[in-house]
Chains A and B, each alone.
Chain A
Amino acid sequence: GAVVSQHPSRVICKSGTSVKIECRSLDFQATTMFWYRQFPKQSLMLMATSNEGSKATYEQGVEKDKFLINHASLTLSTLTVTSAHPEDSSFYICAGSGSTDTQYFGPGTRLTVL
């Protein structure tokens, strides 16, 4: 149980374009979803926390207008990287927590901006 999926697993885009990443909780209702970013050889960095139906809470230093988060249902959250640039290339990971309040992570999305 507690499976989280992400789509796509890998995406390559041109600089200046926007990319949407989907995160789904497959067998539980994720009242809270989290988005992380991980650069090579580094730990996960929390970007934002979102509760279903509410606006996301962003961590200090994360631009909310650049990283748009939508958590419209208890099983789906999306992260849109707007006007992506090469420095946005990273591994993006989502996590969901539900009734048990333990975070379960998705497999991650590798974003490469050319």
Chain B
Amino acid sequence: LAKTTQPISMDSYEGQEVNITCSHNNIATNDYITWYQQFPSQGPRFIIQGYKTKVTNEVASLFIPADRKSSTLSLPRVSLSDTAVYYCLVGDPYNQGGKLIFGQGTELSVKP
């Protein structure tokens, strides 16, 4: 399974756009990139998943360059409630049942 590297923490202010970049140099051909959000004492919540280029949903956008060795989660106009830990994971959803190995994650703090 490909290892991921993210910043340990980030600070932002309400209303700003936040971009969290994840490095996954050893990503395999069949791997997808998935981002989760976790609040204290809760299970992770699925945010977005992609394979290449750009994916957008009602919550976030995911940018993946052509070499797929990194990805960027973009959160538009964050609010205080977006303060959480964000995990970037890489895995093959069609192998080993989609096994994922969690890294340290990025602790995002949104200030008023």
Pull 13 A–B residue pairs with CB atoms less than 8 Å apart, ordered by A: A4-B43, A31-B97, A32-B97, A34-B97, A43-B103, A44-B102, A46-B100, A46-B101, A101-B94, A101-B98, A102-B46, A103-B46, A103-B100
| Chain A residue at smallest Cβ distance from B85 | A43
| B interface, over-half SS | loop
How far does the alpha carbon of A36 sit from the alpha carbon of B102 in the complex, in Å?
A: 10
Chain A positions 70 through 107: 1 when the CB is less than 8 Å from some CB of chain B, otherwise 0: 00000000000000000000010101010011111111
A31-B97, A102-B34, A102-B93 are contacts. A46–B102 as well, Cβ < 8 Å?
yes
Instruction: State how many residues of chain B have any CB contact under 8 Å with chain A.
Output: 22
Would you call B44 and A105 a contact (CB within 8 A)?
Answer: yes
In the complex, chain A residues whose CB is within 8 Å of the CB of B49:
102
Q: How many A-B residue pairs have CB under 8 A?
A: 62
Contacts of B105 in A (CB 8 A): 43
Q: How far is the CA of A43 from the CA of B111 in the complex (A)?
A: 23
Which residues of chain B are near A2, meaning CB under 8 Å?
46
When the two chains form their complex, are residues A97 and B87 in contact, meaning their CB atoms are under 8 A apart? no
Chain B positions within 8 Å of A, measured between CB atoms, are 34, 36, 41-46, 49, 87, 93-94, 96-105
- Shortest distance in angstroms between A79's beta carbon and chain B's nearest beta carbon? 14
Q: Of A97, A105, A107, which one neighbours B97 at CB under 8 angstroms? A: A97
Q: Which residues of B contact A101 (CB under 8 A)?
A: 93-94, 97-98
Contact A108 B93 (CB under 8 A): no
| Given A43-B104, A43-B105, A91-B41, A104-B46 contact (CB < 8 Å) | yes
Assuming A46-B102, A97-B98, A101-B97, what are 4 further A-B pairs, CB within 8 angstroms? A101-B93, A103-B34, A104-B46, A108-B41
> Looking across the interface, which residue of chain B has its beta carbon closest to that of A105?
B43
Cβ-defined partner of A102 (8 Å) among B42, B43, B98: B98
Scan A24-62; emit 1 where CB is below 8 A from any B CB, else 0: 000000011010100000011110010100000000000
CA distance A104 to B46 in the complex (A): 7
Say yes or no: A32 contacts B41, CB within 8 Å: no
